[in-house]
Chains A and B, each alone.
Chain A
Amino acid sequence: MLDYTLRRLVYTLITMFAVASILFVLFRMLPGEPTMQVISPAMDAAVQERMKEAFGLNEPLWKQYFIYLKNLVTLEWGRSFVSAQEVTDILSYRFWNTLLLMAAGMCLTLVLGIGLGIVMAWRRNSALDIGGTVVGLVFQATPPFITGLLLLIVLSYRLGIFPTGGMYPPGQRPDGLFDLLMMPAFWERIVLPTITVGAYYISTPMLIMRDSMLEVLGSDFIELAKAKGLKPRVVMLRHAARNALLGVVTISGIMIGFAVGGQVVVESLFSWPGMGQLMVESAASHDYPVAQGTFLMLAMLVISLNFFTDILYCYLDPRIKITAAGMN
């Protein structure tokens, strides 16, 4: 177990390093001035020169690469072209907002999805089972921006039940997480983006839970439990669902990793001040230090999630090596 964890940790670090290197290459392939990605052309010449020095842009490419890696590790991620703020400062605020929304969306997805999956398998071929499968597949086929737009048009624009976006009303910036969580206006605003995220991903835990439940339900010990005269509820939850949960655990980790990338759409649609929205805004305005930093941060989040999934899965079921199926 420890051996496996260490090996995974090394792989994870290699992956992070590789992603950072790919990003370096991409930004250096940029047409035009090589300094463009860290130094705003709008700054005056003396400042530009000083920054070139700081980022080692007068050095040969291989040296620049090492300076880039060193800056990554020491959290010298540059400043925004637009607001001149430190990229790390911007990200440290945005990071939690993204995490908050993702946590809400994934809780909804997992709780509802697993619950429905259990009931669907238990009542196989019932209207709920067949209907649930079809609805799940349709949700899976609906890109989040369409679900989000639909919710906005119907529930916000037409019926006016929910605010159209943001995380809190303009001008009422809360101090700290606790303050934010105590705001009713925040809870009003998190509903639609949460449903949007949840709807797209729900079919994954639901259908996988259903399928692995069906497999477990076919095994002898379930027959035995039933024969012992245990209540159906007990057999369903304590015996079958518990054993079927394993498959969902792995897929969930990978799903959450994929959902990180999907944040981009939901946050842009609902003006949620997270990293996804920042990614779109900075890329559209060619604010390269922010775009690069945000991409790295999102990638680190995905990579760490993959690492924890691997470890958790190995802990839960040491027999099996990790494979991801049925997701992207």
Chain B
Amino acid sequence: MLASTASRWLHTARLGIGEHYRIIQSNPLSRIGFRLIVVFLVIAAFAPWIAPHDPWEMVYDKDGQFASLRPPSWEFPLGTTHLGYDLFSQLVLAARTTLVIGAVSGIISILIGANIGLIAGYYGGKVDEVLMRLTDILYGMPFLPFIIVLIALFGRKLEFVILAIVLIIWRTSARVIRAQTISIKQRQFILAAKARGASDLRIIYRHILPNVLPLLLLYAAFNIAWSIITEASASFLGFGDGETISWGGMLYELWLSGKTRVAWWWFAAPSICIVLLVTSLVFVSRAYEEVANPRLRKR
């Protein structure tokens, strides 16, 4: 009995993965995006083994000269900073920071947003009213300024960056999922489940959730993309974690150093990585958008 349940569950899960694979493969852009994300994930996972130097280690070339502001070469593939830090090492190690921040804040925020949207939409009335007013309040918060205030007050720590992002970013997913929930809860099969005496929780998580899943995944991808953009922007302004290297932080150091005029390679590497990663996420999310929103499909 237990084994059959488990095997049935496994079967569903495998079907689910196959379905996602099909969605991603359905569109050339999302196919490219998905591959790039995998590449970034691999780099982030093996970052300490790939990076030849510490992020803030002054490097010397093979003649023993201090390697300051070197353009890309065989020895320093992405060049060095004015203080002689190896940009390739910084870039690889920063991938980890960026992906962790993106994944953690993206996932936590979609969990909060989805639950609030489902509960507000399903129960309606007072519950809905309270939760939506809460969402309105968050819509009144300017996002980056909020992060800046939080960091200025409590210090340049990774936790506060993530906390600030999560606190604000769930608002959009909550509104969208609520709207979808409201339209789904009036359908026949939900009314049938109610008539059978299914509990509210069961209806929400077994019957409604699977139907909002494409939308939920779409917003999960958006949330991750927005988190990455936001973290990079905050770091660029000097309100990121001071002790962890990140792509935005690399550009902040470039801006501070005043070498923006000369060191094009210092600008290029982190910028290209940020844009590539976020673009990949946007491309993948566009594939889910076509599922969540069928009128976008090619006719």
Q: Known interface pairs A145-B233, A152-B260, A284-B238. Does A302 touch B142 (Cβ–Cβ under 8 Å)?
A: yes
Cα–Cα distance between A262 and B145 once the two chains are bound (Å): 9
Task: Find A145's partner among B176, B251, B281 (CB 8 Å cutoff).
Answer: B251
Decide if A291 is an interface residue (CB 8 Å cutoff): yes
Residues of B within 8 A of A31 (CB): 154
Q: Is the CB of B238 within 8 A of A27?
A: no
Task: Find B141's partner among A138, A146, A294, A299 (CB 8 Å cutoff).
Answer: A299
Q: Is the CB of B275 within 8 A of A295?
A: no
Residues of A within 8 A of B229 (CB): 141, 143
Cα–Cα distance between A295 and B283 once the two chains are bound (Å): 34
Task: Find A294's partner among B140, B145, B153, B296 (CB 8 Å cutoff).
Answer: B145
Decide if B43 is an interface residue (CB 8 Å cutoff): no
Q: Is the CB of A283 within 8 A of B149?
A: yes
Residues of B within 8 A of A328 (CB): 143, 169, 171-172, 222-223, 226
Decide if B295 is an interface residue (CB 8 Å cutoff): yes
Q: Is the CB of A260 within 8 A of B296?
A: no
- Which parts of A120-151 form the interface with B (CB within 8 Å)? 125, 134, 137-138, 140-146, 149-150
Residues of B within 8 A of A323 (CB): 175-176, 179
Q: Is the CB of B152 within 8 A of A291?
A: yes
Q: Known interface pairs A145-B233, A149-B267, A214-B295. Does A140 touch B140 (Cβ–Cβ under 8 Å)?
A: no
Residues of A within 8 A of B217 (CB): none
Question: Which of A13-21, A106-114, A183-191 interfaces with chain B?
Answer: A13-21
Q: Mark B82-115, 1 if CB is under 8 A from A, else 0.
A: 0000000000000000000000000000000000
Residues of B within 8 A of A150 (CB): 267, 271
- Which parts of B214-252 form the interface with A (CB within 8 Å)? 222-223, 225-226, 229, 232-233, 236-239, 248, 251
Q: Is the CB of B267 within 8 A of A141?
A: no
Which residue of A has the minimal Cβ distance to B179? Answer: A323
Residues of A within 8 A of B60 (CB): none
Cα–Cα distance between A229 and B270 once the two chains are bound (Å): 55
Cα–Cα distance between A277 and B152 once the two chains are bound (Å): 15
Decide if A265 is an interface residue (CB 8 Å cutoff): yes
- Quote the shortest CB–CB distance from B262 to chain A (angstroms): 9
Sorting the interface of chain A by its residue count into under 10, 10 to 19, 20 to 34 or 35 or more gives 35 or more
Task: Find B236's partner among A29, A265, A325 (CB 8 Å cutoff).
Answer: A265
Residues of B within 8 A of A302 (CB): 139-142
Residues of B within 8 A of A294 (CB): 145
A contacts with B: majority SS? helix
Decide if A308 is an interface residue (CB 8 Å cutoff): no
Residues of A within 8 A of B187 (CB): none
Q: Is the CB of B237 within 8 A of A268?
A: yes
Q: Is the CB of A138 within 8 A of B279?
A: yes
- Which parts of A258-317 form the interface with B (CB within 8 Å)? 258, 260-262, 264-265, 268, 276, 279-280, 283-284, 286, 291-292, 294-295, 298-299, 301-303, 306
Cα–Cα distance between A299 and B267 once the two chains are bound (Å): 32
Q: Is the CB of B144 within 8 A of A145?
A: no
Decide if B23 is an interface residue (CB 8 Å cutoff): no
- Quote the shortest CB–CB distance from B263 to chain A (angstroms): 10
Decide if A221 is an interface residue (CB 8 Å cutoff): no
**Residue in B150, B169, B278 whose Cβ sees the most chain A Cβ within 10 Å:** B278
Q: Is the CB of B275 within 8 A of A153?
A: no
- Which parts of B256-299 form the interface with A (CB within 8 Å)? 260-261, 264, 267, 271, 274-275, 278-279, 281-283, 286, 295-296, 298
- Quote the shortest CB–CB distance from B268 to chain A (angstroms): 9
Cα–Cα distance between A324 and B232 once the two chains are bound (Å): 25
Cα–Cα distance between A276 and B267 once the two chains are bound (Å): 23
Q: Known interface pairs A138-B275, A328-B172. Does A265 touch B233 (Cβ–Cβ under 8 Å)?
A: yes
Q: Known interface pairs A11-B136, A149-B271. Does A280 touch B237 (Cβ–Cβ under 8 Å)?
A: yes
Q: Is the CB of A19 within 8 A of B137?
A: yes
Decide if B148 is an interface residue (CB 8 Å cutoff): yes
Cα–Cα distance between A18 and B134 once the two chains are bound (Å): 9
Residues of A within 8 A of B148 (CB): 264, 279-280, 283, 291
Q: Is the CB of B233 within 8 A of A27?
A: no
- Which parts of A10-61 form the interface with B (CB within 8 Å)? 11, 14-16, 18-19, 22-23, 26-27, 29-31
Residues of A within 8 A of B271 (CB): 146, 149-150
Residues of A within 8 A of B264 (CB): 153
Residues of A within 8 A of B295 (CB): 211, 214-215
Decide if A327 is an interface residue (CB 8 Å cutoff): yes
Q: Known interface pairs A146-B274, A295-B145. Does A141 touch B279 (Cβ–Cβ under 8 Å)?
A: yes
Given contacts A141-B282, A261-B146, A299-B140, 13 further A-B contacts (CB under 8 A): A14-B137, A15-B133, A27-B153, A138-B282, A145-B233, A153-B264, A153-B267, A214-B295, A264-B233, A283-B149, A283-B152, A284-B238, A301-B142
Jot down 21 A-B pairs with beta carbons below 8 A, ordered by A.
Answer: A23-B149, A26-B153, A125-B298, A138-B282, A143-B233, A143-B236, A145-B237, A145-B251, A146-B251, A146-B274, A215-B295, A254-B139, A261-B144, A264-B142, A279-B145, A280-B237, A291-B149, A299-B140, A306-B136, A328-B169, A328-B226
B: residues with CB less than 8 A from A are 29, 133, 136-137, 139-146, 148-154, 169, 171-172, 175-176, 179, 222-223, 225-226, 229, 232-233, 236-239, 248, 251, 255, 260-261, 264, 267, 271, 274-275, 278-279, 281-283, 286, 295-296, 298
Nearest first, the 10 A-B pairs at minimum CB distance are: A261-B142, A283-B152, A141-B278, A141-B279, A303-B140, A261-B143, A298-B142, A328-B172, A18-B137, A261-B144
